[in-house]
């Protein structure tokens, strides 16, 4: 990271199999950013613990994510890819930040408020989540933090918390800018709602071809008889085809469906071809990479070393500022 590029940082929780929504909404935009920024990407396994109770699965899901980034072509020599829990500096910083964070600020957090409003059993991790996220960000002094709309409030809180610490102890922490993807790319799932693990409607990014086909064939469509004209606009098949099909493919498929005599089953078949073509090479690389656990662990170890080196100056500055010498 010797040149003058700006630094961008973002994290993705380790919470299960990655799906097409994660890919289009978070991973691919991250990869695109790595063309023009020095990027720090991490697998937020500590954040996953607020809800992921599957102790046996978290590390495997972490490795899945590493293999996915590599299969997509992230250059881990130029950028930093690491696991959150490998840099324990973050939990120390979280404490310092906790001591300058007003309870009132945390009570305003959407994630906590929603969970509490639904009468869920809210743990302290859910309540303190924004402080850990602030520590994630502030420790590495990024210029930009690219996130989806749902995370905007958390990045703003990180700025507020850094501002409180700076007001009390002098200019110690760098305030990051959120980079919000406003054009909410909301990828629909099998039932038409937002694709999400919580809705059980996801299409995995890297399942085998047969399962992918089966998933896509189960997409919700109306029951217009085969011979009748069909409208691709506004249909689930259409929404997904637009994202994965060839550039001129949408108009072509729309025209053929509108003529009648073509069933949704055929359209889904074409959708499967499009999605499968899109992910095939990446999936092949993924499958190979995922087998090499030692290699993935080595990637994480290298990332952790680079991340620790970046984190130490910030932590030392905060300790000194607050009188922990
Ligand atoms: P899930 O809803 O399946 O639990 P996460 O909340 O862990 O997914 O999502 C991680 C990131 O992936 C989010 O920050 C968001 O940017 C992106 N993402 C998830 N689902 C979608 C979707 N359906 N469309 C677009 N982006 C998505
Ligand atoms: N909270 C984010 C999410 O749920 C993940 C995350 C954790 C993150 N720490 C971060 C994102 C720091 C950006 C910066 O998607």
Q: Which residues contact 215 (CB under 8 A, 6 or more apart)?
A: 190, 203, 204, 207
Task: Please give the Cα distance from 189 to 94 (Å, whole number).
Answer: 35
Contact 18, 63 (CB under 8 A): no
Domains of the chain plus CATH, in order, are: 7-187+293-322 (3.40.50.620), 206-286 (1.10.240.10)
Cα(21) to ligand 1 centroid in Å equals 6
Q: Which of 13, 20, 196 to mutate to test the pocket of ligand 1 (most atoms within 8 A of CB)?
A: 196
| pLDDT recorded at residue 88 | 98
User: Which regions in the chain score pLDDT beneath 70?
Assistant: 1-3, 182-184
Question: What pLDDT shows up at residue 4?
Answer: 75
Q: Minimum-distance ligand to the CA of 44?
A: 2
| Ligand 2 pocket residue status of 136, Cβ below 6 Å | yes
- The tens digit of pLDDT for each residue in 129-155 reads 999 999 999 999 999 999 988 899 999
Cβ neighbours of residue 152 closer than 8 Å, sequence gap 6 or more: 178, 180
Q: Distance, CA 28 to ligand 1 centroid (Å)?
A: 12
- The angle at the Cα of 272, spanning 72 to 224, to the nearest 5 degrees, equals 145
Q: Ligand 1 centre and the CA of 201: distance in Å?
A: 12
pLDDT of residue 3: 58
Cα–Cα distance, 119 to 289 (Å, whole number): 42
pTM of whole model > 0.75? yes
CA of 154, closest atom in ligand 2: 1
Q: What is the pLDDT of residues 217-274, one digit of tens each?
A: 999 898 889 999 999 999 999 999 999 999 899 999 999 999 999 999 999 999 999 9
Q: Which own/partner pairs from 244-251 qualify as long-range (CB within 8 Å, at least 24 positions apart)?
A: 244/271, 244/274, 244/275, 244/278, 245/270, 245/271, 245/274, 246/274, 249/274
Tokens of 196: 């999400």
């Amino acid at each position: 990271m010797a040149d003058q590029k700006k630094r961008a940082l973002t994290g993705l929780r380790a919470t299960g199999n990655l799906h097409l929504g994660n890919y289009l909404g978070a991973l691919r935009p991250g990869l695109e950013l790595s063309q023009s920024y020095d990027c720090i990407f991490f697998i937020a396994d500590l954040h996953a613990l607020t809800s992921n109770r599957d102790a046996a699965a978290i590390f495997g899901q972490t490795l899945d994510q590493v293999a996915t980034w590599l299969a997509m072509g992230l250059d881990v020599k130029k950028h930093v890819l690491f696991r959150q829990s490998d840099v324990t500096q973050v939990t120390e910083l979280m404490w310092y930040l906790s001591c300058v964070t007003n309870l009132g600020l945390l009570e305003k957090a959407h994630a906590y408020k929603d969970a509490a409003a639904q009468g869920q059993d809210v743990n302290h991790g859910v309540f303190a989540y924004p402080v850990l996220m602030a520590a994630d960000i502030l420790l590495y002094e990024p210029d930009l933090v690219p996130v989806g709309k749902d995370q905007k409030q958390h990045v703003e809180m990180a700025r507020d918390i850094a501002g409180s610490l700076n007001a009390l102890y002098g200019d110690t922490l760098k305030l990051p800018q959120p980079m919000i993807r406003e054009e909410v790319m909301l990828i629909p799932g099998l039932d038409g709602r937002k694709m999400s693990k919580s809705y059980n409607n996801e299409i995995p990014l890297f399942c085998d071809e047969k399962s992918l086909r089966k998933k896509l064939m189960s997409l919700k469509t109306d029951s217009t008889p085969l011979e009748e004209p069909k409208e691709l606009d506004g249909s689930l098949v259409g929404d997904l085809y637009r994202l994965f099909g060839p550039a001129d493919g949408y108009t072509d498929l729309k025209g053929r469906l509108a003529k009648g005599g073509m069933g949704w089953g055929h359209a889904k078949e074409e959708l499967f071809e499009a999605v499968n073509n899109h992910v095939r090479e990446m999936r092949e690389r993924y499958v190979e990479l995922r087998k090499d656990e030692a290699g993935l662990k080595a990637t994480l170890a290298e990332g952790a070393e680079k991340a620790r080196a970046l984190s130490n100056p910030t932590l030392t500055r905060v300790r000194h500022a607050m009188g922990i010498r």
